[in-house]
Amino acid sequence: MKLDKNSRGSLALVYVISAVVAALLILFVHSPWLLWPLLVIIAWFCIWQTMFFMVPERKPVGTDRLVSSVADGRVVVAAKAFEPEMLKSEAIQVSVYMNFFDVHANFWPVSGEVVNYEYFPGKHFFAYHPKSSLENEHTCTLLRTPDGKQVLFKQIAGGFARRIVNYAQPGMKVTAGEQCGIIKFGSRIDIFFPLDADVRVKEGDLVRACETVLAELS
C-alpha cells in the first residue's frame, strides 16, 4: 500500500492537530485513568486516518469489456435510470456507497479513452440520499472502450466530504484498475452502463475496487 499523493497535506494536518491535543492532555490531565484512554483514542484516530488515505494494492479484473468497481463499499442502487448530464439517455445505474471505514481511493472501471470530464459544484446531502446524485458536489467522467461502448461514472461528495480528486483529462488513455482519484470522507460512486450490459451485482452486495466485476459489456 502507498499513501495517496493528494492526501499528504491532509494527513500532516491530522498529525499536527493530534500532537497538539495530546500535548495539552499530558500537560493538564493528571489522572492516568483518564489520560491514557484519551491518548489511545488519539493514536487510533491517527492510524485510522492513515489507512483512510492509503491506496491499496489490488489485482485488477477489469478490461475493456469487464467493468470493475471504482470504489470499495456497498451497492445501494442497481436499476435502470435516466442519466441527464452527459449520456442524456436511459442506462443501467449501479451506485456504491462508501462509509468512513472504506478505502476512498478510486480506480478506472474500464480500459479505454476519456471522452469527457466535468466538475459540478453543489450541496452536501448524505451520500446515500437519492438527491445526492444530481444535487451534491460531483464529477462526471465519460469513458469509451475500443468497441465504442460508453461507461460514465460520477464521484459524489457526501455530507462530510469536501474534496474530490480526479485525474481525468479528455483524450487520455486509461487502464482498468489504475488509480483515477480519491474522495475524502463518506461519499458515493454512480456508474452507468449501456442497457444491454450484463450486470453482475445487486443491491446490498459488498464490492471491492478493481476486484469486483460490476458488469460485462456486450
Active site residues: 187
- The length of the chain is 218
Helix, strand, coil shares of the chain, percent, nearest 5, are 20, 40, 40
The contacts of residue 143 (CB under 8 Å, 6+ apart) are 108, 109, 110, 112, 113, 114, 115, 150, 151, 152, 153, 174
What CA dihedral angle connects 112, 113, 114 and 116, to 10 degrees?
A: -110
The 10 Å CB-count burial string (b at 16+, else e) for 71-102 is: bbbbbbbbeebebebbbeeebbbbbbbbeeeb
- Grid cell in block for residue 66: 469487464
